[in-house]
């Protein structure tokens, strides 16, 4: 299992990705407390101190190679975030993908693809396992377009997996949209 350095950054598809820092707390909170765009994910209390504490604990998980939280910027202005967590041997769980309302669609999709590029190339994972709210139709349709396979469901969620080989095959097609 590979680890990312604490100053990891990547520029691809016209956007810049870097690891989240404690100083990102305010930005993260501003996006995570937008009620319309976060209606399908776990709610976050609008409390800056708690967000800072959460990020401090996250940095410990990052140092251990268990989780990586990414902040995406375009022209130096942050617009989105996502993360891979519960990393173990060859797999991890992706999630927490959020972008500013009315963000440039190209940049938002770039952030989706960069997360997977990092998971499957930089971290050399082979599998992503995650859940999506059944009502979050546009998101699970997008995952399926990138090779996600149904592996189960609960009353409210679908469970998916994406294998590296399937993502790479789909990515090669979607890169032409950029």
Partner 1 sequence: MELNDFVKEFAFQFDDTDPSEITASTEYHELEEYSSLIAMSVLNFVEKKFGKSITFDDMKAAVTVEDLYKIIIEK
Binding positions for partner 1, rule: CB under 8 A? 99, 103-109, 112, 137-139, 141-142, 145, 174, 176-178
Nearer to partner 1, 67 or 117 (CB): 117
CB of 164 to partner 1, least distance (A): 20
Q: Which residues pair with 93 in a beta bridge?
A: 85
Query: Which residue, 55 or 99, is less far from partner 1 as judged by CB?
Result: 99
| Closest separation in Å from C-beta 75 to partner 1 | 15
What distances in angstroms separate CA 106 from CA 57, 64, 140, 171, 175, one per listed residue?
A: 32, 32, 18, 14, 11
Angle 103-31-13 from CA coordinates, rounded to 5°? 40
Q: Strand 77-88's sheet: what is its strand order?
A: 9-12, 15-19, 68-74, 77-88, 91-99, 127-133, 157-163, 149-153
Q: In this complex, which beta carbon is closest to partner 1, that of residue 96 or of residue 108?
A: 108
99 vs 88: CA distance, rounded Å: 27
Measured from the CB atom, the residue of 105 and 152 that comes closer to partner 1 is: 105
CB of 116 to partner 1, least distance (A): 14
Q: Which CB, 25 or 71, lies closer to partner 1?
A: 71
- CB-count burial class (<10 Å; 0-12, 13-18, 19+) for 80: buried
Shortest separation between residue 138's beta carbon and partner 1, angstroms: 4
Name which of 51 and 108 has its Cβ closer to partner 1. Answer: 108
Least CB distance from residue 4 to partner 1, whole Å?
A: 25
State the nearest-atom distance from the C-beta of 106 to partner 1, in Å. 4
Residue 156 CA to residue 174 CA, distance in Å, equals 29
């Amino acid at each position: 299992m590979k680890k990312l350095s604490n100053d990891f950054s990547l520029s691809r598809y016209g956007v810049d990705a870097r690891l989240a820092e404690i100083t990102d707390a305010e930005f993260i909170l501003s996006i995570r407390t937008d009620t319309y765009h976060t209606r399908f994910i776990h709610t976050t209390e609008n409390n800056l101190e708690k967000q800072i504490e959460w990020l401090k604990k996250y940095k410990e998980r990052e140092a251990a190679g268990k989780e990586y939280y990414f902040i995406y910027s375009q022209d130096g202005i942050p617009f989105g975030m996502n993360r891979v967590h519960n990393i173990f041997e060859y797999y991890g769980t992706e999630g927490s993908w959020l972008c500013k309302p009315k963000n440039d669609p190209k940049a938002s999709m770039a952030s989706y693809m960069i997360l997977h590029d990092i998971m499957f190339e930089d971290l050399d994972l082979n599998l992503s396992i995650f859940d999506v709210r059944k009502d979050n139709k546009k998101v699970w349709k997008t995952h399926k377009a990138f090779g996600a396979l149904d592996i189960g469901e609960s009353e409210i969620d679908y469970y998916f997996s994406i294998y590296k080989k399937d993502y790479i095959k789909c990515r090669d097609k979607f890169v032409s949209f950029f």
